[in-house]
Amino acid sequence: MMIDILAIGAHPDDIELSCSGTIIDEISRGRKVEIADLTKGELGTRGNAEVRFLEAQKAAEIMGVSSRVNLEFKDGFIKDDEEHIYQVVKLIREKRPRIILCNAVEDRHPDHGIAAELVKKACFYSGLIKFKTTKNEATQKIWRPNALYNYIQFKYLRPDFLIDISDVFEHRMKSILAYGSQFYDPNSKEPDSMISSKIFLEFIDARAAEFGRIIGVKHAEGFNVQRIPAVKGLFDLK
């Protein structure tokens, strides 16, 4: 089994808010994309783990991803330690992605930066022949992705590259709004949170528009790199 892209998020909705446009666009080009959420998002102010699970499945259907799994790490307590690394390595070796997308290297929520470092280490260890994850190593062959890219989240980080998502922006917003318990709903009786305000959705639009302006398009998503990308010639750059 091998897939084109594995998108990893610390919480359900991290991916939708940050790179769902890129995912939708890549799927439209025939790429196979799968998602892995590290936690159930059970510490979220609104909703609960069960509701978030159903919303995540709905969002996955909207994006068109092949599958979505949850590693059930403890929300708010993701650790960059041996136990967590082993679980992510097992996931990478099972899915065998060419590219991994994961959380911002630095962000408002502590889980995001920790998840980014965790996944970075797991990508490296996944390629080590002596790194064992199971008793029966015949079921866990080594695998290292070609690239690891970190999507940009709440905190502004200078992107290393931008992807034009103008044609799929409305589709992207539908995947975000699948999380009805989390985002703006004037009829909701749930407690208010930073992301449940109407202005937060306006911020999501504005961030994509800001990134788009930089490259002369309507909307874009930004990413940071772990290593400098290579191209064969100047005309591969836009």
Mean pLDDT calculated for residue range 163-170: 98
| Number of domains the chain is built from | 1
20 by DSSP, 3-state: which? helix
pTM of the model: 0.94
Instruction: Output the domain CATH number for residue 211.
Output: 3.40.50.10320
CA gap 152, 88 in Å, rounded: 21
| pLDDT attached to residue 192 | 87
CA gap 148, 215 in Å, rounded: 22
Is the distance from CB of 74 to CB of 45 less than 8 angstroms? no
Is the distance from CB of 73 to CB of 37 less than 8 angstroms? no
Per-residue CA distances from 175 to 14, 69, 119, 221 (Å): 11, 17, 24, 15
Q: Look at residue 133 and tell me whether its pLDDT is greater than 90.
A: no
Provide the terminal-to-terminal Cα distance of the chain, rounded to the nearest Å. Answer: 33
Q: For residue 73, which phi and psi values (nearest 5 degrees)?
A: -70, 165
Q: What pLDDT digit, counting tens, does each position of 100-123 carry? A: 999 999 999 999 999 999 999 999
Tell me the average pLDDT of the chain. Answer: 94
Is the distance from CB of 222 to CB of 149 less than 8 angstroms? no
Q: What pLDDT digit, counting tens, does each position of 68-95 carry? A: 999 999 999 999 999 999 999 999 999 9
| pLDDT attached to residue 116 | 98
| pLDDT attached to residue 140 | 75
Q: Which domain holds residue 74?
A: 3-236
Q: What is the number of other CB atoms lying within 10 angstroms of the CB of residue 42?
A: 15
H or E stretch covering 162: strand 161-164
Q: Look at residue 136 and tell me whether its pLDDT is greater than 70.
A: no
Q: Look at residue 63 and tell me whether its pLDDT is greater than 80.
A: yes
Q: Look at residue 137 and tell me whether its pLDDT is greater than 60.
A: no
Q: What pLDDT digit, counting tens, does each position of 191-201 carry? A: 888 888 889 99
